[in-house]
Amino acid sequence: MKVLVTGGCGFIGSHAVDRLLQDGHEVIVIDNLSSGNARNLEHHKDNKKLSVHIASITDLEKIESLFNGVDWVFHLAALADIVPSIERPMQYHNSNVNGTICVLEACRKHNVKRIIYSASSSCFGIPDTFPTPETAEIRCQYPYAVTKYLGEEYCMYWEQIYKMNITSMRFFNVYGPRARTAGTYGAVFGVFLAQKLNNKPYTVVGDGKQTRDFTFVTDIVDACVTAAKRNDVSGHVFNVGSGNTYSINKLVGLLGGEITYIPKRPGEPDCTFADTSKISKLLGWKPKVSFEEGVKIMLDNIDYWREAPLWEPHTIAEATKDWFKYLA
């Protein structure tokens, strides 16, 4: 297969590239390096089956011809993180919504056979039901969640109207090596691993009893590949989760070290937990990496976070000012 990966230099994207090359596919990457890093694909630099194009997905004219002859598209390019989405909503809309439409139009023009959209479990906001099924009410809490959900809606409309073969995967708390750490205050693993390297206490939010459906990145990619292979399953939305939910205290226990507590953040759920019965039933997919194994892999790769920003309670308070201001 010829597979195009948008955001292929990013965290999840680079793992998708690893897997697709390993499976013998030809891979084309489009990435504007806004949060991705060319270093994430350095280990493939001599692989003739990979080509990397530095471009923005919002530049339809520039990217469109790259979709010629492509079988599958994994659309993983997006701006992530909550805080900057509150500060710069237009930028998020442009990348995550307009960018998605550009990708859909390029796919339509070139009759791409299969499109996998990376959606986010953040569309559920603070749900009533755990584990949370795909049918739960949409309750976006911040612009990032809205833009990822709108991207999914557009995918589903393109699927209906233009009869394209598209599946949306709602990822739950993805973690793994190369989890983004640059710049903004973001996902917990990047924050905690940098704190561990610097012998600083972990900044645990609230009482640490809140739980997350931490899903290892290779399982996420495996779910996408499984979905891509199934031409007969189009127009569906699937939760992709680990099958369980783990507290921050449990994570700290596995990482080992001291704790300092910081205030609970407004708008964040006490639990994320995917109901994965749909993906299991329709695609026969199940996660493979346990939380304990996943955390061990993170610790084995901890050097990656050496240059990551070190967050401390006062810098977190400063960085999340707008979060508390607008979502409280």
Catalytic annotation, residues: 144
Q: DSSP character for 132?
A: B
Cα dist from 62 to 32, 41, 106, 137, whole Å: 12, 22, 10, 37
Q: Which residue has the tokens 């990397």?
A: 52
> According to CB under 6 A, which one of 12, 70, 191, 298 is a site residue for ligand UDP?
191
Instruction: Report the nearest approach of ligand UDP to the CB of residue 271 (Å).
Output: 9
Residue number, 35 or 210, with CB nearest to ligand UDP? 210
Residue 152, SS3 per DSSP: helix
Contact stretch for ligand UDP (CB under 6 A) within 96-104, 111-119, 202-210, 288-296: 202-210
Is there binding between residue 173 and ligand UDP (CB under 6 A)? yes
Angle at 77 between CA 71 and CA 82, to 5 degrees: 150
Q: How far is the CB of 122 from ligand UDP (least distance, A)?
A: 6
What is the C-alpha separation between 185 and 312, in angstroms, rounded? 10
Q: Give the nearest distance from C-beta 187 to ligand UDP in angstroms.
A: 4
Instruction: Provide the β-strand partners of residue 6.
Output: 30, 75
For 302, what's the count of Cα atoms within 13 Å in the CB-facing half-sphere? 14
d(CA 44, CA 65): 23
Give the x-and-dash track for 64-93 against ligand UDP (CB under 6 A): ------------------------------
* Residue 247 to residue 242: CA distance in whole angstroms: 14
Q: How far is the CB of 131 from ligand UDP (least distance, A)?
A: 15
Instruction: Among 4, 16, 80, 204, indicate the residue that binds ligand UDP (CB under 6 A).
Output: 204
Q: How many CB atoms lie within 10 A of CB 299?
A: 13
Stretch binding ligand UDP (CB under 6 A), from 83-91, 130-138, 205-213, 277-285: 205-213
CA–CA separation, 213 vs 64, rounded Å? 36
Among 17, 70, 76, 248, the residue binding ligand UDP under the rule CB under 6 A is 248
Listed ranges 21-29, 57-65, 183-191, 225-233: which one lies at the site for ligand UDP (CB under 6 A): 183-191
Does position 147 bind ligand UDP by CB under 6 A?
Answer: no
Element (H, E) at 180: none
Please identify, using beta-carbon distances, which residue of 17 and 191 lies nearer to ligand UDP. 191
How many residues bind ligand UDP, per CB under 6 A?
12
Determine if the peptide bond prior to 143 is cis (ω within 30°): no
Q: In the complex with ligand UDP, which residue's Cβ is closer, 136 or 188?
A: 188
205 is a site residue for ligand UDP (CB under 6 A): yes
Q: Based on CB atoms, which residue is closest to ligand UDP, 102 or 136?
A: 136
Distance CA 292, CA 116 (A): 28
Looking only at the bridges linking them, the beta strands covering 72-75 and 50-54 are unpaired
Identity of the residue, 67 or 189, whose beta carbon is nearer to ligand UDP in the bound complex: 189
d(CA 3, CA 13): 12
Does position 268 interact with ligand UDP (CB under 6 A)? The reply is: yes
Interface with ligand UDP by CB under 6 A: which residues?
173, 187-188, 191, 203-205, 210, 212, 248, 268, 272
